[in-house]
Amino acid sequence: MSRTDLRLTAGPALALLAVPLLMLATAGCSQSPPSQEASQSTLKIAAQVQIDDKGAEVKAAEGATPADPAGDGKATCAPVSIAMAGALTGSEAALGLNTRNGVQLAVDKHNAANPGCQIALKTFDTEGDPQKATAVAPQIIDDASVIGLIGPNFSGETKATGSVFDQAGLVATTASATNPTLSENGWKTFFRGLANDAVQGPSVANYLKNTLSYKKVCVVDDGTDYGVGLAQTMRDTLGPVADTACKVSVKKGDKDFSAAVTQIKGALPDAIFYSGYYAEAAPFVQQLRDGGVTASFASGDGANDPEFVKQAGEASKDAILSCPCGPATGSFADEYTKKFGQEPGTYSTEGYDLGTIMVKGIDSGAVTRPALLDFVKNYDGQGVARKYQWTDKGELTTTLIWIYKVQ
């Protein structure tokens, strides 16, 4: 999410209108109208394998029971709140809404089962923009009822606000910010709920190089903290497989990728890895296909969302997508779909797991910021996506990457 500061060049759309508006905007920049293709497409993103940093398959653990936010139904507490901050409007709103919905499901399940302990979820829209996030952060810490935070979503806004939450002693768990340097700032309140890009980049690069045996890969980044960071780890691990003749950097907000397509077409790669978000990945892969480029298309967690498929249509077929996020499984997937009328998306599972950890802490009696921070710091438990236990830097003790495919 992986993720980054969003240097948006277009005004934010309302979240509920984001899909159709984005489709219309993208259609004007490609020979293949995404809105028409999407309506005809039955493509979906499907989990394939879990891999280690060598790109080798690791069988998913079985049999562990995820923590239940409902608990035993006997919790009592004074009314308290947890916050969720992220992009709820704008071009990447789907990623923020996925996280929010996951947290909301955990809170609602808890409240329905525990009438003696009602927890409010307060949401704050940052649009994924670091500048807007810095304006939102004081609102969160000045609300005395808020004792924990899930967010911000992206790496740039997390970087911009981490010290604010740290100084306030407010535990801040992110479901999606993956820039590796975030845990190097000395923040005592920062906890990452998934693997970072120092894990994702080498894992995916080795999967492309060693498992899929690609000999020439063009790595393209979108110029953001997330995109540049992930692309660099990809290039470093790919080594000579990362063709320098098609080392391309585009800009967040771009819709015309003709120059990049021409450069890539001339390089004749086996695969293209796009390090950025679905709002650009969709028109980019469309223009690659329209331009006659048949190389495999791969991308990271920033594009691993149903919106990528909806906006790219048939051009997204067979795209390889990676994510440190885990697939939604079991009763969680069913409950989420029933509640929100759609299947869980990227980071929905992490949002639910982190929300569950927060409410479990409150149920244990951790109803102040210092107490909840201490609870999370010492947490060791199974979630839907993975086991959650953190190092003293706020990184998970166990990190693996999932490979998905559009099919």
Q: What percent of the chain has pLDDT over 70?
A: 89
pLDDT-based confidence at 40, cuts 50/70/90? low
Q: What is the per-residue pLDDT for 15?
A: 34
Chain segment 310-323, per-residue pLDDT in tens = 999 999 999 999 99
- 252 versus 148: the higher-pLDDT residue is 148
The burial class, CB within 10 Å (0-12 / 13-18 / 19+), for 382 is middle
111 φ/ψ sector (left φ>0, alpha ψ -120 to 50, else beta): alpha
pLDDT band at 1 (very low <50, low <70, confident <90, very high): low
- CA distances (Å), 102 to each of 108, 197, 403, in order? 10, 22, 21
Q: What is the pLDDT of residue 22?
A: 32
pTM of the model: 0.79
- DSSP code for 60: P
Determine the pLDDT at residue 245. Answer: 93
Per-residue pLDDT, 7 = 32
pLDDT level of residue 231 (50, 70, 90 thresholds): very high
Mind listing the pLDDT tens digit for each residue in 46-83? 999 999 999 999 987 676 799 999 999 999 999 999 99
Nearest alpha-carbon partner for 68 in 304, 356, 303: 356
Residue with tokens 């935070």: 149
pLDDT of residue 16: 33
- Span 239-245, average pLDDT: 96
What are the tokens at 260? 């990049």
What is the token pair recorded at 250? 């585009």
* Mean pLDDT computed over 9-26: 33
The pLDDT value given to residue 41: 66
pLDDT of residue 346: 87
Q: How many whole angstroms separate alpha carbon 294 and alpha carbon 28?
A: 22
Contact residues for 28 (Cβ-Cβ < 8 A; gap 6+): 255
C-alpha distances out from residue 339 to 19, 343, 344, Å = 20, 10, 10
Confidence of residue 4 (pLDDT cuts 50, 70, 90): very low
pLDDT at 10 exceeding the cut of 90: no
Q: What is the pLDDT of residues 341-391, one digit of tens each?
A: 998 988 999 999 999 999 999 999 999 999 999 999 999 999 999 999 999
The residue type found at 128 is G
